[in-house]
């Protein structure tokens, strides 16, 4: 077999794999793209749809966190607290998440000025939560989270195969390269679909690969960290396991938060509560609204002594492995360049639907043409 013949056989095999990965995973990829587009602006949409739950008129001085937590414990005595999100705009509200299970998580909204409960809803009872649970968990809990990881791996293979099939041969001239980046509207429906499929797949390919690779980081966090840290020589993240005296009690919450607040500048974004007696309290802070890549601080506090155990400042010299992991969320959701990148990501999320429709449509046209050809031969 000649080299050219072997190359043709390999190409047919790779085309077969690419085609069937696209057919099998196409609807899945389209769903992820559309829900991803909506998630880019989901918080703003949710806020516009539920102003009575997510906004309050500013009324002067905010209540301390202890008053907010006391209200929650009084109104929901049997529910645990995972964390509380602080109100960032003046008309925002405290948001307490209760429960570890994604589908049954309860979100309680409390007025920061009166410490009164405004309302509550489950995770999937909100526009944003519904989209997040579908996008990341496929409505299947942890199993869906893991399946998303394997799906992302298969999509990565499909994307790379598509790039390999698109890439012109070494002997291709400038005209061939130009044709690969353009869409011909005068060469028939099949050619138009072919060009559209190629252009929609090639131009945003880097972003599509970012989406799939960051999904691997989300779905397999421990394995991803081990690999990235090993590749970059990054030491493991610190682990804090306290050893409290028998009968020891946590210090007042406001004292713990004040200790964390004094450790570094910035505004408090979230307080995560200890879930076990030997776990610390964590306070997340930030410095600006849009660049989520290097604007976060995490303060770890001993709840029994108010001692600050660790201050992670993303503005300082960042270890490469930790920086790569930290970039996963901003790169996946487009929150690294302000409004322009969010608009770009919204559009990018719609392109998998175009790629799937054009690819599937062209495949159907080819199958119909082959069937007509066989029928002519029989007659």
How does pLDDT run across 40-61, given as a tens digit for each residue? Answer: 999 899 999 999 999 999 988 9
Mean pLDDT of the chain: 87
CB of 45 closer than 8 Å to CB of 127: yes
Q: Find the mean pLDDT for residues 275-304.
A: 84
pTM of the model: 0.82
CA dihedral 178, 364, 22, 31 (to 10 degrees): 100
What is d(CA 82, CA 373) in angstroms, rounded to the nearest whole number?
Answer: 64
What are the Cα distances from residue 302, in Å, to 150, 237, 246? 38, 17, 15
Q: Is residue 48 part of a domain?
A: no
132 occurs within a structural domain: no
Those residues with Cβ within 8 angstroms of residue 296's Cβ, 6 or more apart along the chain or in another chain: 269, 284, 285, 286, 312, 314, 326
In whole angstroms, give the CA distance from residue 208 to residue 201: 9
Q: How far apart are CA 183 and CA 186, in angstroms?
A: 9
- Residue-wise pLDDT for 213-246, tens only, equals 999 999 999 999 999 999 988 888 888 889 888 8
Q: At residue 3, does pLDDT exceed 70?
A: no
Q: What percent of the chain has pLDDT over 90?
A: 53
Residues 260 and 308 in one domain: yes
In a domain, 96, yes or no: yes
- Reading the block at residue 110, the tokens are 């409390």
- SS3 assignment for 152-206: HHHHHHHHHHHHHHHCCCCCCCHHHHHHHCCCCCCCCHHHHHHHHHHHHHHCCHH
pLDDT at position 109, please?
98
Q: What is the pLDDT of residue 264?
A: 94
pLDDT value at residue 125? 84
User: Within a domain: residue 231?
Assistant: no
What is the predicted pLDDT for the residue at 115?
Answer: 96
Range of the domain at 119: 54-125
Together in a domain, 146 and 200: yes
Domain boundary among 125, 149, 167: 125
210 & 80 share domain: no
What mean pLDDT do residues 364-373 have? 79
From CA 230, how far away is CA 224, in angstroms rounded? 10
pLDDT tens, position by position, 82-135: 999 999 888 999 999 998 766 678 999 999 999 999 999 998 888 888 999 999
36 and 154 in a single domain? The answer is yes
pLDDT higher than 70, residue 172 = no
pLDDT attached to residue 379: 66
Helix axes of 205-219 and 339-378: crossing angle, nearest 10 degrees: 100
Among the listed residues 22, 23, 338, the one whose alpha carbon sits nearest the alpha carbon of residue 208: 22
Q: What is the pLDDT of residue 268?
A: 95
pLDDT at 179 over 80: no
Alpha-carbon span 250 to 156, nearest angstrom: 47
- Residue 171 token pair: 């002997």
Tell whether 73 and 177 lie within a shared domain. no
267-277 residues labelled b (16+ CB within 10 A) or e (exposed) = ebebbbbbeee
Claim to verify: residue 211 and residue 68 sit in the same structural domain: no
20 and 161 fall within a common domain:
yes
CA–CA gap between residue 267 and residue 79 (Å, rounded): 27
Distance, CA of 353 to CA of 30 (rounded, Å): 5
Residue 228 lies in a domain: no
Residue 266 forms part of a structural domain: yes
Query: Taking a C-beta distance cutoff of 8 angstroms, is the pair 346, 41 a contact?
Result: yes
Number of separate domains in the chain: 3
Paired tokens of 46: 């949710």
In a domain, 168, yes or no: yes
Q: Name the nearest CA neighbour of 141 among 155, 158, 124.
A: 124
User: In 178-212, which positions are buried (b, 16+ CB within 10 angstroms) versus exposed (e)?
Assistant: eeeeebeeeeeeeebbbbbbbbbbbebeeebebbb
Same domain, residue pair 108 and 257: no
Residue 315 pLDDT grade (very low, low, confident, very high; cuts 50, 70, 90): confident
pLDDT in tens, 270-288: 999 999 999 999 999 988 6
Q: Residue 118 belongs to what H/E stretch?
A: strand 117-122
Whether 25 and 154 share a structural domain: yes
Question: In 3-state terms, the chain is what percent helix, strand and coil (to 5)?
Answer: 55, 10, 30
Question: What does the radius of gyration of the chain's CA atoms come to, in whole angstroms?
Answer: 26
Q: Is the pLDDT of residue 171 over 70?
A: no
Same domain, residue pair 59 and 104: yes
Residue in 318, 324, 320, 273 with CA at minimum distance from that of residue 300: 273
CATH of the domain at 110: 3.10.450
Is residue 213 domain-shared with residue 147, that is, in the same domain? yes
Residue 196 falls within a domain, yes or no?
yes
The DSSP H or E segment spanning 352 is helix 339-378
- Whichever domain contains 297, its CATH number is 3.10.450.40
pLDDT of 197: 82
213 and 141 part of one domain? yes
Least confident of 33-37, 277-281, 337-341, 349-353: 337-341
């Amino acid at each position: 077999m000649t080299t050219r013949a072997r190359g043709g056989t390999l190409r047919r095999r790779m085309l077969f794999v690419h085609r069937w990965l696209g057919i099998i995973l196409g609807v899945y990829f389209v769903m992820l793209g559309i829900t991803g587009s909506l998630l880019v602006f989901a918080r703003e949409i949710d806020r516009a749809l539920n102003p009575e739950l997510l906004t309050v008129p500013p009324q002067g001085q905010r209540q301390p966190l202890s008053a907010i937590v006391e209200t929650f414990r009084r109104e929901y005595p049997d529910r645990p607290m995972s964390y509380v999100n602080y109100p960032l705009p003046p008309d925002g509200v405290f948001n307490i998440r209760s429960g570890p299970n994604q589908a049954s998580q309860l979100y309680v909204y409390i007025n920061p000025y009166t410490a009164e409960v405004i309302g509550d809803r489950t995770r999937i009872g909100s526009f944003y939560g519904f989209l997040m649970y579908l996008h990341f968990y496929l409505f299947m809990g942890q199993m869906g989270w893991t399946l998303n990881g394997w799906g992302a791996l298969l999509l990565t293979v499909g994307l790379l195969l598509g790039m390999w099939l698109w890439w012109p041969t070494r002997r291709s001239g400038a005209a061939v390269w130009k044709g690969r980046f353009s869409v011909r509207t005068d060469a028939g429906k099949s050619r138009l679909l072919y060009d559209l499929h190629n252009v929609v797949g090639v131009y945003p390919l880097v972003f599509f690969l970012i989406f799939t690779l960051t999904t691997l980081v989300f779905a397999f966090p421990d394995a991803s960290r081990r690999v990235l840290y090993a590749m970059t020589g990054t030491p493991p993240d610190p682990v804090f396991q306290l050893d409290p005296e028998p009968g020891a009690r946590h210090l007042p919450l406001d004292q713990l938060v004040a200790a964390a607040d004094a450790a570094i500048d910035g505004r408090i974004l979230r307080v995560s509560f200890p879930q076990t007696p030997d776990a610390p309290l964590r306070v997340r802070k930030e410095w600006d609204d849009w660049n989520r890549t290097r604007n976060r601080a995490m303060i770890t506090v001993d709840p029994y002594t108010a001692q600050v155990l660790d201050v992670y400042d993303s503005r300082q010299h960042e270890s490469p492995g930790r920086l790569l992991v930290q970039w996963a969320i901003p790169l996946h959701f487009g929150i690294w360049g302000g409004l322009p990148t969010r608009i770009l990501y919204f559009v990018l999320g719609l392109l998998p639907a175009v790629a799937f429709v054009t690819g599937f449509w062209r495949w159907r046209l080819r199958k119909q043409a082959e069937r007509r050809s066989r029928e002519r031969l029989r007659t």
